[in-house]
Structure 1
Amino acid sequence: MVKRFTLPKIGRLCQSKSFQSVYRSGKSYANKQLVLYVLPNLSATRRVGFAAGKRLGSAVLRNRLKRLLREAYRLNQEKFVSGVDLVLVARQPLINAGLAQVTKALLDLSNKAKIMRKEV
């Protein structure tokens, strides 16, 4: 059977209110490229949101960064625990990064935040 790596709508944070609750009540972890906000939720699902502030540049550039973050998360989503809300925020050094660097930064922060699944 082939695994499908999709990012379903139920697994995304879409509303501003959801983002704000994660920013306010969640715990943050940061490195040079990313900031990761983690907030435990009461459901069995994991939801994720992606952000890139206006300081990073034009809309085209910010959208590219969010696409990179989405792809890095999508390819590794089975490695994360369920029951958390995540927000990934891009930082300035991410502008010149490729997918491999984004993925490495994401996985490093996830290990730091202890939201990686234990491999059996």
Structure 2
Amino acid sequence: MNEKKYTLPRTKMIKRRSDFQHVYQKGTVVAGRRMVLYVLREQRVAGKVGFAAGKKLGCAAVRSRTKRLLREAYRHMQHELRRDVGILLIGRAGLAEQRMQDAAQELRALARRAKIFADGGGRHRTEEQ
């Protein structure tokens, strides 16, 4: 049985400001109601993901919850996404009040629109398949 790890190590995260700026400026954008997805197909950030929540969202607790929801939604679907792209997820107002399932559903929809699923689809898989 091929077990997949659902951890998100720091080595797979975009941490440097210059890398964030690079994805912002050169990446393609897909916007949703509660989050924005930036995708960049470039070796410099390939296979990495970054999370952000601006100060307009509110206090530190709200920004932290927003980033936590983004990380958790990404963590559960990371094995379904392409490895040759760098991803940046930006939280929007109202995401902190949502459930994790809602954040995951919106991320899935954005990834489908951005065409970054490894199999080209993006349908939710069940345990039997």
TM-score normalized by structure 1? 0.93
Change (3 A) 1:92 1:81: same
Q: Deviations over 1:4-56 (max 9, x none)?
A: 21112221000000000000000100010110000012269410000000010
**Percent sequence identity over matched residues?**
38
**In the TM superposition, what are the counterparts of 1:42-57 in structure 2 within 5 Å?**
42=43, 45-57=46-58
Q: Distance in 1 between matches of 2:109 and 2:56?
A: 24
User: Would you say the 8 A contact 1:11–1:45 is kept in 2?
Assistant: no
Cα distance, 1:99 vs. partner? 0.3
**In the TM superposition, what are the counterparts of 1:61-100 in structure 2 within 5 Å?**
61-100=62-101
Q: Distance in 1 between matches of 2:108 and 2:48?
A: 17
Question: Partner amino acid for 2:49?
Answer: V
User: Would you say the 8 A contact 2:45–2:86 is kept in 1?
Assistant: no
User: Would you say the 8 A contact 2:39–2:86 is kept in 1?
Assistant: yes
Q: Distance in 2 between matches of 1:26 and 1:63?
A: 24
Q: Does 1:117 align with 2:118?
A: yes
Q: Distance in 1 between matches of 2:80 and 2:44?
A: 18
SS in 2 for 1:92: coil
Question: Partner amino acid for 1:29?
Answer: V
User: Would you say the 8 A contact 2:69–2:96 is kept in 1?
Assistant: no
Structure 2 residue runs of 5 or longer lacking an equivalent are 122-129
Q: Distance in 2 between matches of 1:15 and 1:59?
A: 20
Aligned pairs, how many?
120
SS in 2 for 1:76: helix
